[in-house]
Amino acid sequence: MLNKQPEIVLKNQGLTTRETGFLNWDVIFNEKVTRTDRGKRGILYTFSFQHPGGLVNIDISDLNVSKVRLERLIRVYKARYVAGLR
């Protein structure tokens, strides 16, 4: 069965993933986007972050947003949260 729920949703208050549900930005740390060359199988892009419940890795290879754009959006949303624009 096809899951139509988004992989990741970014908001000023935090982010939502299928695995974790909603998390505030203040409990999210070490967020990064990595590129892994898998040889003949192509390139894998992964968004990973830590939170009090553990480490989350999300395959973002098929998302309609580039690695650079996602990294920028994460910085923008987290900065808004820190600045108090909740």
Whether the per-residue pLDDT at 4 is higher than 90: the answer is no
Handedness of CA 70, 50, 41, 7 (dihedral sign): negative
Please give the pLDDT value at position 21: 95
Ranges of H-type helices in the chain: 67-82
- Asked if residue 1 has pLDDT above 90, the reply is no
d(CA 41, CA 19): 25
Please state whether the predicted TM-score (pTM) of the whole model is above 0.95: no
pLDDT digits (tens, 9 = 90+) for 35-79: 999 888 888 999 999 999 999 999 999 888 888 999 999 999 999
Residue 71, pLDDT score: 92
